Amino acid sequence: MSHVSSHPSATDPAVPTPGPSTPDQPETRTSAVLREFADYTQAQRLVDSLSDDKFPVEHLRIVGLGIRTEEQVTGRMTKGKAALAGAGGGAWFGVLFGVLIGLFAPGAIWLTVILGSVAFAAFWGAAFGFVAHWATRGKRDFASIQTLKADRYAVMVDAQYYTEARTLAEKI
């Protein structure tokens, strides 16, 4: 098992850090770093192993450290592409709306209701997509996908469970 650190380095267990509060636990909850990992899968594996050993995993958290956003540019965006994307989103909304309304339509008219809803929603989706892109006045002529990434992941444990968690984690 490869991990960044097998000992608490970011936070010493002797100096607990405040953890997030929950409705049933006060703001004074403290936690300590059990281990740090280079990727989320390794942190998840540790928590799963502790769960398999019957450790009360509700006292654990996986915390992303060194958080940043990354934006992958996927292509050029034109008013036509924006309108097409808007039409696609509108069409899906039209299908949903049409099916819900069509359920209450008598006889074969349900198909007309669905097709009409799709056409209506696709038209307005295209119009809104076109206008939204036009409103940027060329300041964002590209499409992209934005993701949130972390440099490393810490498995945090409530301070009162640190010793038990560490003992079980050393066996893994």
pLDDT, one tens digit per residue, over 76-89 is 999 999 999 999 99
The per-residue pLDDT for range 7-41, each reduced to its tens digit, is 444 444 433 444 454 445 444 569 999 999 999 99
Q: What pLDDT score does 24 carry?
A: 52
Query: How far apart are alpha carbons 127 and 32 in whole angstroms?
Result: 53
Query: How far apart are alpha carbons 44 and 61 in whole angstroms?
Result: 10
Q: Is the pLDDT of residue 45 over 90?
A: yes
Q: In which residue are the tokens 């390794």 written?
A: 42
Which residue segments constitute the domains of the chain, with CATH numbers given?
31-73+151-170 (3.30.70), 78-140 (no CATH)
Query: How far apart are alpha carbons 9 and 29 in whole angstroms?
Result: 20
116-145 mean pLDDT: 92
